[in-house]
Amino acid sequence: MAPDPRSGGSATGVGASIVRPDAIAKVRGEFEFATDLRAAGMLWGATLRSPHPLARILKVDLTPARRIPGVRAVLGAWDVPVNTFGAVDKDTPVLADDMVRYVGEPVAIVAAQSPALARQAIDAIVVTYEPMRPVTDALEALAAGHVYRHVSMTHGDPDVVGEVQAEGEYLTPRQDHSFLAPDAGLARPDGRDGVEVIGASQWVHADREQIAACLALPEEKVLVVNSGIGGSFGGRVSMTWQVHGALLALHTGRPVKFVYSRHETFLARYHRHPSRIWLRHHANRDGTLVKLEARILLEDGPYSHTAAAGIGNSCSLIQGPYNVPNASIEGWAVATNNGMCGSMRGFGVVEPIFACESNMDRLARTLGIDGAELRRRNLIRSGDTWTFRQVQDRPAPVSELVDLCQAMALPPAPSADRPMSARVALPGGVATPTRPRHVRRGIGLAAAVKNTCFSEGCPVNSTALLTLHNGIATVDCAAAEVGQGFVAVAIQVVQSTLGVNEVRVAACDTGMPPAASTDAQQQTITSGPAIHLAAARLKERFLQFFGREHGLDAATLDIRDDFVVSRQGGRLASVAEAGMGLVFRATERFDQRTTRPVDDPHATEPVHVALSFSANRCVLDVDVELGLVRVVQMDVVQDAGRVANPALALGQVTGGSLMGLGFALSESLEYRDGRPVNGNWRDYRLPRMADAPVVNCRFVERPVPGIPFGFNGIGEMPHVQAPAAILSALRDATGLDLPAAPATAGRIALTGSDAVPMRLSDSALEAFKGPGRARIGKFLRFQRVER
């Protein structure tokens, strides 16, 4: 088991709860976030956005904006050298040209002396639109053939039929990242016909590649610098203002700053995919799983972005952490005009785990078996083969996770005669109308699996440069720090490997060699080893130097706590004194194993670099009359490989669990006729601190083979397992099916309204499999919705 993060532990190195280097500045309000950036002579940027979900652009008149004193630039699509970009498929316009395809799509940009002038200029631009009927329903998009990727997988004998079957259809919502800091940043000309772009990013080298391509510049002419980030959760992997800022900076010759409003951040952001998933589990009467049938429909926006990767992840992990000998799985990523969808914490996996665990609850009820026991009987083990034909050749301690989770102490049962001072803990919180006699306690369990690192053939590697000068080690690694604490982990890896305690981490920018993206809970398992390898090589060089200088065999030497020591014991000299005035450097790259597409029937490589597991037992109280819910406690046990920093790991689990609570009970970005109806924090219902439950967390450490320190991913898993556990507990308390998230008060209390409208029916699928299929490529690289 990992050490308790509250118990102190060793002072430095991997396994210690060291304080992250940016913590004090953030607490004092001294840390510079992207919204705080300033530059001499700075202009302010603003964006004109489409009010229509789908329309032809008949005319754009920029002249009224250009006439306003203090406005320095007004640009349209014709001013963009290469007007498409994208993290995967480059099919998204920088500025809309002949069509707009979602509400909020950028149409024109301005730079002005002040934010007020910039907004005035945006309001002065005249655009003539011809509105068209948008595609707003995923089933309609499927039937019409607006499909980015279709995945079809079989495993074992897909014709096998189990003695008992349980099937259901499950819906999940569009979720917003809702990070504290809105999209913001600064672009400025570098004086050498290039541009510097400073802002919040999860992958600076990918941003540079896209920005340079749009500007028709060599990549060396674009420097991308990662600024302080006020939260990310997958949202910063997609560019919003960056190309706009760079264009305006080059056009005006002056720095240009963008700061989006909260409403604009909702419009510009790529949200979690809404999903519709049908599942049928086949089992023997003893509960042993025999087969899984699944159909998955993910809704994407009018540009493909990361659609192919999302549906690939969903199809591969729809089986959950269970051994399923036979399977038939199909999935579709479809295009609508309901805004853009893309990467968010637990990308492509939160949705299928919710559906899988919900249907496992249904199967348990059908069989009359306790849900935890049904899961125990089917958990995957090392040596088992996944439905995507990958052998689980790494540790899979899922049974241990479930047992430890179930062994945690339960909170006190609710009492009908609680004092008034305790009523704040009732569903509804302060001033709740809940009457204690209507409160029911529910306990639910969910088990989950999540891929670590990019999958399906996407390269995963990272590079680190380590410098040692006068006893101080400096890490240069373009691994983006987005609030997750990798800056602390980098320091700890150097402390453990090199033996030097004073370690500094340089700012992240594209002047460094490329590093892995801060996605897919992969930074520690990918950039951590790169830093370890560089530290090991630097240590070797330093000891060789010291050995030559002192007539000693380098093999008999080591570095511990800033001192060169003999391996038999005894300090010989401090590292600072031994290398005074000299600079030692080492650069190393770490590559993960090659992967393949999930639906390639011939390739033998794995689909995922690694997998991590978790179990969550949720305890909650629900007012069955009013539908109000209070999550009392979540007991989480997570597979962690090796925990680098227990305090940071606990923070990831606590924060991710709260995000999962929002997904389960309140968050849903709603669209009506292609227009967002709650795109602000007044109407979009985020969890509050008063909603936060007690989160008890333990880590099981089973080091991942072939990875220095045995690291695995941690950060995304808490969000993956929390919604399923919460809904499981709600079903236990209410007896309702609750196949849709979020389980709002209306869905719980108003006649138990939990039916799924417009089912992913056989008729819709048959229509797709007929003439529709002929219109679909496996990966459509430039699919646009036009009606």
Mean pLDDT of 121-128: 98
pLDDT in tens, 455-482: 999 989 999 999 999 999 999 999 999 9
Q: Would you give the DSSP letter of residue 30?
A: -
pLDDT in tens, 67-103: 999 999 999 999 999 999 998 889 999 999 999 999 9
What CA–CA distance (Å, rounded) separates 307 from 634?
32
Structure tokens at 738: 């609750």
Whole-number average pLDDT of the chain: 92
Q: What is the CA radius of gyration of the chain?
A: 27
pLDDT confidence of 425, banded at 50, 70, 90?
Answer: confident
Mean pLDDT of 203-213: 97
For 23-31+461-591, the fitting CATH number among 3.30.365.10, 3.40.190.10, 3.40.50.150, 3.40.50.80 is 3.30.365.10
pLDDT: which is higher, 689 or 131: 131
In the chain, where the domains are located? 23-31+461-591, 34-133+182-229+236-268, 355-452+605-754
pLDDT in tens, 167-181: 999 999 999 999 999
So what's the pLDDT on residue 569? 77
Mean pLDDT of 119-137: 98
Mean pLDDT of 514-537: 96
Q: Would you say residue 328 has pLDDT above 60?
A: yes
Common-topology check for domains 34-133+182-229+236-268 and 355-452+605-754: no
Q: Would you give the DSSP letter of residue 509?
A: B
Angle, alpha carbons 182-507-230 (nearest 5°): 20
156: exposed, middle or buried (Cβ count in 10 Å: 0-12, 13-18, 19+): middle
pLDDT confidence of 5, banded at 50, 70, 90?
Answer: very low
pLDDT: which is higher, 644 or 6: 644
List of residues 6+ apart from 115 with CB closer than 8 A: 44, 46, 259
So what's the pLDDT on residue 417? 60
Q: Would you say residue 522 has pLDDT above 70?
A: yes
CATH topology of domain 355-452+605-754: Aldehyde Oxidoreductase; domain 4 (3.30.365)
DSSP for 441-480 reads EEEEEEEEEEEEEEETT---EEEEEEEEETTEEEEE----
703 near 14, Cβ under 8 Å?
A: no
Q: What is the largest CA-CA distance in the chain?
A: 85
Q: Would you say residue 3 has pLDDT above 50?
A: no
CB neighbours (10 Å) of residue 32?
11
Q: Is the dihedral of CA 738, 334, 299, 305 positive or negative?
A: positive
CATH match of 34-133+182-229+236-268 with 3.90.1170.50: yes
Q: Would you give the DSSP letter of residue 573?
A: E
pLDDT in tens, 229-258: 888 899 998 999 999 999 999 999 999 999
Structure tokens at 59: 């005319």
Q: Which residues pair with 92 in a beta bridge?
A: 85
* pLDDT > 70 in the chain, percent: 93
Q: Which of 636, 617, 622 is nearest to 717 (CA)?
A: 636
* pLDDT > 90 in the chain, percent: 86
Q: Which residues pair with 472 in a beta bridge?
A: 469
What CA–CA distance (Å, rounded) separates 494 from 477?
12
pLDDT: which is higher, 5 or 493: 493
Q: Is the dihedral of CA 659, 664, 666, 669 positive or negative?
A: positive
- Listed in order, strand segments (DSSP E) in 30-137 are 43-49, 55-61, 71-75, 84-85, 92-93, 99-100, 106-112, 126-131
Mean pLDDT of 768-776: 38
104 phi and psi angles, rounded to 5 deg: 105, -5
pLDDT in tens, 280-300: 999 999 999 999 999 999 999
Q: Would you say residue 683 has pLDDT above 60?
A: yes
Q: Would you say residue 775 has pLDDT above 70?
A: no
Give the pTM: 0.94
Within 13 A of 134's CA, how many CA atoms are on the CB side? 26
